[in-house]
Structure 1
Amino acid sequence: MVHQYKNNGYNIVLDVNSGMVHVVDDLIYDIIELYNQADRNEKHLAAEQAKEAIIHKITEKYSKEEYTDLFAEYITEGNTASDAVSAAVKEAVSDIEELINDGALFTEDIYENYISEFKSRSTVVKALCLHIAHDCNLACKYCFAEEGEYQGRRALMSYEVGKQALDFLIANSGNRKNLEVDFFGGEPLMNFEVVKKLVEYGREQEKLHNKKFRFTLTTNGILLNDEVMEFANKEMANVVLSIDGRKEINDLMRPSRNGKGSYDIILPKFEKVAESRNQNNYYVRGTFTHNNLDFSEDVIHLAELGFKQISVEPVVALPEESYAIKEEDVEKVYEEYDKLAAYILQKKKAGEGFNFFHFMIDLSGGPCVAKRLSGCGSGTEYMAVTPWGDLYPCHQFVGEEKYLMGNVFEGVKTPELQEEFKCCNVYSKEKCKDCFAKFYCSGGCAANSYKFHGSIHDAYDIGCQLERKRVECALMIKAAEADL
């Protein structure tokens, strides 16, 4: 499978199965497009007639006077412009054949059999999202956690439940040494004393069980103070700071319980956190909605404030919500991603670059094959824990009783649910099979699929469209960086 597109002056050809990215001129781009339209045998030049047809069609197009200057180097004494075009086209076809023979273009999918092997592996848990507080001091309008309540009651996790959660993680992690725990909510700093005690307990257990905990914290910033910052800088591998961008946008969607905005309270604290962490190992993380489809301005606002690690993501909401991203908004969002990509390149050229989470892509390493095929590991390697110890596939499933998997005291009681999530991958989803972005999004979010289609084996359609655009922008940025 090959995906072609043009962005910001670059002609980009992605060989989906190998992950190879080619930046090509117009001639090669057009020839590959004809190969792409051919059937499988023709792509691999089993039919010489097909190759000749491609050469003839391209030669005819590029023999027009408007293209003459492109082939000046091929024009010699006794060699006409038509001869020059023919020579250039044949050379381009030869280059494409070489890429095909080298396994860099029109490669076969070799991963479908791998997923069967992956599904037969024994399951180990490597990460927990601890809902340390089902309560919040903000009233964010788009919150899937319903102001921290998660379709249930307000509650704070006790030390005993949290301690048992860490014990559960250690006991179910097999030989895996590195384990991850995210302190989440609601607002986790409403239960900060328990956070501190659990980190202390985790550090003790590391030595006893040859494990290493990577703790992270997600906070809205209202309760951030010097004590919290000092603790986070010592113990938290990453800190996620929630802010939506410009003051008017943030305060519209992220008010306090009394209706007042949060921007003026949290911004100076977030700036201090970012600097105290040397602009690394944190994110300012926002959500854009139908109310700010010009969200690139919010990313730019945060970048101009000096933040170097930024994530602003589309809201996931059912169409009846006034703030939901709707189908008619998609083209505008595309334009904003293109605008943002151009701005990021401008900043990089000026030596003022920053990371935008959704444009970060690793072409040389990146996720392992299992991750590329199956995604985040929700319901198998990763689970969420409620304040009273119930286990769910992830934080977005909390409160959905059909997805209650067990508890940290008794373990997983629904192995059939765990198996269902284990079988959820890009090959179990019909919409993923012919999608060029499938090895980058790994099939998308299971919770979003369930929210919109009632099944984890489907895909959230608008989310898919936006993901494909983000991948295109990310690859274009990589191509442009090679020219910097």
Structure 2
Amino acid sequence: MIHQYKNNGFNIVLDVNSGMVHVVDELVYDMIALYDAADKDKAMDLESAKADIRHKNENHFISEAKKEEIKKEILKRYSQSCYKELFSEKANEADVLEAINDGFSDIEELIGDGSLFTEDIYETYIKDFKARSTVVKALCLHIAHDCNLACRYCFAEEGEYHGRRALMSYDIGKQALDFLIQNSGNRRNLEVDFFGGEPLMNFDVVKQLVAYGREQEKIYNKNFRFTLTTNGIWLTDEIMEFANKEMSNVVLSIDGRKEVNDLMRPSRNGKGSYDVIVPKFIKFAESRKQTNYYVRGTFTHNNLDFSEDVKHLAELGFKQISVEPVVAADGESYAIREEDIEKIYEEYDKLARYMIESKKEGKDFNFFHFMIDLSGGPCVAKRLSGCGSGTEYLAVTPWGDLYPCHQFVGEDEFLLGNVYDGVKQTALREEFKCCNVYSKDKCRECYAKFYCSGGCAANSFKFHGSINDAYDIGCQLQRKRVECAIMLKAAEAAEE
């Protein structure tokens, strides 16, 4: 499977199954599209396919007759003026034919190398991978089901998660860490995110649990990686100092420009939060040397020009930025709608171009959704199976109940067990365990499947009632983000 697109002057060809990215000229770009169509036609003709097989990848080579058809089509598309534009003032049809023949040689060399038109070999592999025994390696501790803000889009209902306000006790948190250690097998590195509501409303317990975790990691040869997500209202110098010592990563919630942030993230008395949190966040980011944190915002139908919010955060000096689309029911006034998609695409393109220019000026920053590793990154199994919610990653409520992740908390049918008795709904855990890009029809033929891992199970459930579906608007935006991320890598390579 290949995916072709044009972005910011680059002609990009992604070979989906190998992950190889090719930046080509206009002529070869068109040739590959015609070659792909001819290859698909040939695949329907088994006898022709058998006749063309010469070595392991050459089942994707096409016949000389098909090549002649492509040559004719290319010559028909490219007028005399195009020859001059693509080649030189003196170019003629013979020059184009030579370039076409060179193009065929390049295409077939890439096929032979296993970097173009490669086969999907992972479906059987992922089934075997998912059948293995799993361990719990990460917990999202809902340290506070309460909040000092009243964000309009909050899926947690101002921190209450369809239930009651509560703060996690030290005893429940301690048992959660014990549960994690006991169910982590031989895995040494474990992750714990202090989440809410607003976790700083229960900061004393956060400190106690970190201290307990540090004691236990010495006893059990474990290494806790603690993280914190905060809206910043109660952030103090003391908390910053503690976080810089103990928290591997900190997420700072802000939506961008003052008017945007204050519309959607007011306090309970209706006042905006921007003026309170921005000086603290700037100080905090600098104290962490602009690493191991990110400012995280949400854009909605109310600010479809969200690239301006990213720019605003970058201009404030933040180097690690995430501004993500809201996920909300269709009836909400702030929900992203189908008619918003094209505008959002334009904003992602605009943001990508801004990032290129910023880097040239020495003002570069990371945008979370454009961060992509084309040479390494997560293993194939991880990229195909997702975040591990319901199996390797669990959320813990203030009273110790276990859910597949923070977005399922409060949904009774997804209650897995508790930190004292462990996971009791093993059938549900198995369902999550088997969730991957091959269990979702929408993912099988999607070029972004190796980058999004099938999307969010919670969003799938909210919109389709099944964790093995996909949130359609989210898919469209994810595909666009992948295109922009790859284009940025192409621009970086071109600059180098």
TM-score bin, normalised by smaller chain: over 0.9
For the aligned residue pairs, the C-alpha RMSD in angstroms reads: 1.2
Asked if residue 86 in structure 1 is aligned to residue 86 in structure 2, the reply is no
Question: Matched residue of 2:87: which SS?
Answer: helix
2:318 to 307, 328, 349: 307
2:206 to 195, 204, 207: 195
Return the TM-score normalized by structure 2. 0.95
Q: In 2, Cα distance between the equivalents of 1:262 and 1:210?
A: 42
- Alignment match, 1:477: 488
Q: In 1, Cα distance between the equivalents of 2:407 and 2:483?
A: 27
Equivalent positions of 1:70-149 (< 5 A) are 70-72=86-88, 81-149=92-160
Q: In 1, Cα distance between the equivalents of 2:81 and 2:304?
A: 43
Deviation at 1:371, TM superposition (A): 1.1
Q: In 2, Cα distance between the equivalents of 1:82 and 1:370?
A: 48
1:50 to 37, 44, 66: 66
Q: In 2, Cα distance between the equivalents of 1:31 and 1:139?
A: 55
Counterpart residue type for residue 462 of structure 2: K
Deviations 1:217-261 (A, max 9, x none): 000000000110000000000000000000000000000000000
Equivalent positions of 1:348-387 (< 5 A) are 348-387=359-398
Decide whether the 8 Å contact of 2:39 with 2:62 is kept in 1: no
Equivalent positions of 1:77-476 (< 5 A) are 81-476=92-487
Deviations 1:32-64 (A, max 9, x none): 011222244368224332122112221333353
Counterpart residue type for residue 326 of structure 2: V
**Alignment gaps of 5+ in structure 1:** none
Q: In 2, Cα distance between the equivalents of 1:272 and 1:65?
A: 58
Decide whether the 8 Å contact of 1:63 with 1:85 is kept in 2: no
Decide whether the 8 Å contact of 1:379 with 1:392 is kept in 2: yes
Q: In 2, Cα distance between the equivalents of 1:121 and 1:329?
A: 42
**Alignment gaps of 5+ in structure 2:** 44-58
Counterpart residue type for residue 479 of structure 2: R
Counterpart residue type for residue 194 of structure 1: V
Q: In 1, Cα distance between the equivalents of 2:269 and 2:461?
A: 33
CA spacing shift, 1:37–1:46, aligned 2, 3 Å: closer
Decide whether the 8 Å contact of 2:83 with 2:96 is kept in 1: no
Q: In 1, Cα distance between the equivalents of 2:61 and 2:23?
A: 22
Deviations 1:63-100 (A, max 9, x none): 53332353349x7xxxx822111111101111111001
- Alignment match, 1:59: 75
Q: In 2, Cα distance between the equivalents of 1:242 and 1:71?
A: 51
Deviations 1:446-481 (A, max 9, x none): 000000000000000000000000000000000001
- Alignment match, 2:53: none
More divergent stretch after superposition (52-61 vs 300-309): 52-61
Question: Matched residue of 1:482: which SS?
Answer: helix
Q: In 2, Cα distance between the equivalents of 1:38 and 1:181?
A: 51
Deviations 1:149-204 (A, max 9, x none): 00000000000000000010011111111000000000000000000000000000
Q: In 2, Cα distance between the equivalents of 1:184 and 1:23?
A: 42
Counterpart residue type for residue 44 of structure 1: H
Counterpart residue type for residue 407 of structure 1: N
Question: Matched residue of 1:38: which SS?
Answer: helix
Counterpart residue type for residue 389 of structure 2: S
Decide whether the 8 Å contact of 1:384 with 1:395 is kept in 2: yes
Deviations 1:11-38 (A, max 9, x none): 0000000000000000100000112222
Q: In 2, Cα distance between the equivalents of 1:112 and 1:226?
A: 50
Deviations 1:122-168 (A, max 9, x none): 01000000000000000000000000000000000000000000010
- Alignment match, 1:3: 3
